[in-house]
């Protein structure tokens, strides 16, 4: 029995690896959904929030331990986990099917496998319907999914018949075969099956990956230009120059960090999108993107956005130019009723969040954004519309907005329901990006090495940055003027050079003198805190 379990698991895994590659290729070629991602996305919605957060934390901590970039590889790791989870589940199902076929000793095991494939396909069909975002019709997507799993089940049963012909032969014509010949035949069949599935898996995955990279590049490119294309930075003439190796003061859109619910970004076409604003309003409206642009005065804001799940020193923070319309103007146009207290915002990826109307009334900068970097939002960053709320982590700021309801009910947002902080106010943080050993210079006859990085405190601004080395006295750093009151600040410190191994640390204060929290605190539930350090040998 144990051998049947192991062989069933192996055959189920080999066949599913090939089917997964075929599904991946089909997703890129014709736009069907990719079922391992669908299943993973469904799991993240139905499992308890603490369990999902534990998985996210485990992934991030593992990547940091291995020295991998969370910004560059987090989504890749998530997608890999989705595929491994799905193929692993298929191995378990394969083992179960082999055991069931052994119990019933069907003369036609392929038929039994077909029934198993039908059950699995039907369950996945209903799972996929709740989360899938195919480019083809739901009917075509569903038929493709079910048909492919029928084939998988049939092949699973067929493989059982080839591996155990003595159990499926008709008794009258059954021929006794020596045990050593049976073992040899099984080994030969498994080698042939493994080679065949490996070729198909590698080919399908390779072609699909090439197409996927091209598509992601297209999605990240941004939409049509809405400006001159020449962005003027207000601090261009500031005398404090960033230290070589400091992250770019202005983040290229293609490098802006991404965090979203699904394994893949939500894709919405402008021609198919409208935004209904309903609920406790005098004049409910349904807007197109062009109406948003035509009917309301636009404004620009340089914005730093950061993720609440980032650790101290995170790369999940970026700065770019946002363009949109004030939420105050939109709400004035539809006539918010006096009893209303909140906006309940829903998104195309299943995300939702509540925004306090009092917050909007007190801050004209709160923006319904439709452009970054003087171009329409990239499709993978929230196109056609997202909201920006100063001084809040990204978890409070829906993108791919598809509906807004004005209400008097305070409904918890997606991540708040999963036990993250309700307010999610950005914590002050400072980071050392570089100790620029190659940029040593002279200041007042002293050899110095410039140290540089960023500091950020939401919309509250940065009042000062201090650096210390090897636990010594805190020394003030120079601050470069920020791009706006809602962006990070670039800082620079000229460290008097001393050869050896050194530990550099940094801290900051907010514009009103409030010090950053120096005590170490994990990201959950309201954002990480602590002193960032940097080791260097000079």
Euclidean distance between CA atoms 24 and 264, whole angstroms: 13
With 50 as the cut, is the pLDDT of residue 26 above it?
Answer: yes
Domains 253-417 and 429-537 alike in fold: no
pLDDT digits (tens, 9 = 90+) for 77-92: 888 989 999 999 999 9
With 90 as the cut, is the pLDDT of residue 226 above it?
Answer: no
With 80 as the cut, is the pLDDT of residue 338 above it?
Answer: yes
- Give residue 164's Cα distance to chain centre: 45
Name the phi and psi angles at 527, rounded to 5: 100, 145
pLDDT digits (tens, 9 = 90+) for 286-306: 999 999 999 999 999 999 999
What Cα–Cα distance (Å) separates residue 366 from each residue in 10, 303, 362, 381, 395?
55, 11, 9, 18, 15
CB 334 within 8 A of CB 278: no
More confident residue, 164 or 450: 450
pLDDT digits (tens, 9 = 90+) for 371-397: 999 999 999 999 999 999 999 999 999
Helix (H, G, I), strand (E, B) or coil at 501: strand
Percentage of the chain beyond pLDDT 90 is: 65
Helix (H, G, I), strand (E, B) or coil at 95: helix
pLDDT score recorded for residue 176: 53
pTM equals: 0.86
For domain 429-537, the CATH architecture is Sandwich (2.60)
Euclidean distance between CA atoms 43 and 55, whole angstroms: 12
DSSP 497: P
pLDDT score recorded for residue 189: 82
Among 131-135, 361-365, 494-498, 532-536, the minimum mean pLDDT is found in 131-135
With 80 as the cut, is the pLDDT of residue 214 above it?
Answer: no
pLDDT score recorded for residue 175: 47
Euclidean distance between CA atoms 457 and 317, whole angstroms: 12
pLDDT score recorded for residue 174: 46
pLDDT score recorded for residue 45: 86
Euclidean distance between CA atoms 532 and 538, whole angstroms: 19
Residue among 232, 325, 251, 299 at smallest CA distance from 488? 251
Q: At what angle do helices 138-163 and 2-29 cross, to 10 degrees?
A: 150
CB 319 within 8 A of CB 303: yes
Euclidean distance between CA atoms 83 and 37, whole angstroms: 7
- Mean pLDDT throughout 237-262? 94
pLDDT score recorded for residue 1: 66
- Mean pLDDT throughout 119-126? 92
Angle, alpha carbons 327-333-337 (nearest 5°): 90
Angle, alpha carbons 235-324-457 (nearest 5°): 50
Residue with tokens 């209303």: 340
Helix (H, G, I), strand (E, B) or coil at 346: strand
Residue with tokens 């909201």: 387
With 70 as the cut, is the pLDDT of residue 233 above it?
Answer: yes
Mean of pLDDT over the chain: 90
Angle, alpha carbons 154-160-165 (nearest 5°): 125
**Cβ-count burial 50-61 (b if 16+ within 10 Å, e if not):** eebbeebeebbe
- Mean pLDDT throughout 33-60? 87
Instruction: Could you please state the CATH topology (level 3) that the domain comprising 253-417 is classified under.
Output: Sulfite Oxidase; Chain A, domain 2 (3.90.420)
pLDDT score recorded for residue 298: 96
Burial (CB count <10 Å: 0-12, 13-18, 19+), residue 118: middle
pLDDT score recorded for residue 50: 81
Domains of the chain by residue range:
2-219, 253-417, 429-537
pLDDT digits (tens, 9 = 90+) for 441-482: 887 778 999 999 999 999 999 999 999 999 999 999 999 999
What Cα–Cα distance (Å) separates residue 325 from each residue in 266, 356, 368?
22, 18, 5
More confident residue, 156 or 102: 156
Residue among 397, 371, 382 at smallest CA distance from 231? 371
Which residues, at least 6 apart from 433, have a Cβ–Cβ distance to it below 8 Å? 243, 245, 246, 247, 452, 453, 454
Provide the pairing of β-strand 386-388 with 429-435. unpaired
With 70 as the cut, is the pLDDT of residue 29 above it?
Answer: yes
């Amino acid at each position: 029995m144990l051998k049947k379990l192991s062989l069933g698991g192996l055959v189920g895994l080999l066949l599913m690896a090939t089917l997964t590659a075929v599904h991946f290729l089909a997703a890129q070629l014709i736009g069907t959904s990719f079922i391992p991602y669908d299943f993973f996305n469904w799991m993240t919605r139905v499992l308890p929030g603490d369990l999902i957060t534990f998985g996210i934390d485990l992934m991030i901590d593992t990547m940091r331990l291995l020295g991998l970039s969370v910004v560059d590889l987090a989504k890749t790791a998530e997608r890999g986990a989705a595929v491994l989870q799905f193929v692993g589940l298929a191995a378990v199902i394969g083992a179960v099917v082999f055991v069931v076929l052994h119990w019933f000793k069907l003369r036609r095991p392929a038929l039994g496998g077909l029934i198993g494939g039908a059950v699995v396909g039907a369950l996945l069909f209903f799972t996929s319907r709740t989360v899938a975002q195919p480019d083809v019709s739901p009917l075509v997507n569903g038929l493709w999914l079910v048909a492919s799993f029928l084939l998988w089940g049939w092949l699973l049963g067929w493989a059982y018949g080839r591996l155990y012909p003595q159990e499926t032969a008709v008794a009258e014509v059954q021929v006794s075969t020596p045990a050593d010949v049976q073992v040899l035949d099984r080994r030969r069949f498994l080698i042939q099956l493994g080679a065949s599935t490996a070729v198909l898996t590698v080919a399908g995955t390779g072609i699909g990956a090439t197409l996927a990279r091209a598509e992601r590049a297209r999605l990240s490119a941004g939409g049509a230009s809405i400006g001159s294309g020449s962005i003027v930075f207000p601090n261009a003439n500031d005398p404090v120059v960033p230290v070589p190796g400091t992250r770019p003061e202005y983040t290229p859109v293609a490098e802006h960090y991404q965090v979203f619910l699904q394994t893949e970004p939500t894709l919405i076409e402008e021609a198919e999108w409208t935004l209904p604003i309903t609920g406790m309003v005098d004049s409910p409206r349904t807007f197109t993107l062009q109406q948003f642009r035509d009917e309301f005065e636009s404004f620009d804001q340089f914005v730093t956005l950061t993720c609440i799940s980032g650790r101290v020193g995170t790369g999940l923070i970026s700065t770019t130019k946002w363009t949109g319309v004030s939420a105050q103007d939109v709400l004035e146009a539809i006539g918010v009723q006096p009893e209303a207290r909140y906006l309940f915002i829903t998104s195309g990826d299943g995300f939702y969040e509540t925004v306090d109307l009092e917050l909007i009334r007190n801050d004209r900068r709160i923006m319904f954004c439709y452009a970054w970097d003087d171009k329409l939002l990239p499709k993978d960053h929230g196109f056609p519309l997202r909201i920006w709320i100063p001084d809040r982590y990204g978890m409070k700021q829906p993108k791919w907005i598809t509906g807004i309801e004005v209400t008097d009910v305070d409904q918890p947002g997606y991540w708040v329901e999963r036990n993250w902080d309700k307010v999610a106010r950005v914590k002050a943080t400072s980071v050392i990006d570089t100790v620029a050993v190659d940029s040593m210079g002279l200041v007042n006859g002293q050899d110095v090495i410039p140290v540089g990085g960023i500091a950020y405190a939401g919309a509250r601004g940065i009042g000062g940055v201090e650096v210390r080395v090897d636990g010594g006295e805190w020394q003030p750093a120079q601050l470069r003027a920020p791009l706006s009151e809602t962006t990070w600040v670039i800082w620079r410190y000229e460290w008097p050079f001393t050869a050896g191994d050194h530990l550099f640390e940094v801290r900051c204060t907010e514009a009103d003198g409030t010090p950053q929290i120096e005590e170490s605190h994990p990201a959950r539930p309201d954002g990480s805190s602590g002193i960032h350090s940097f080791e260097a040998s000079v």
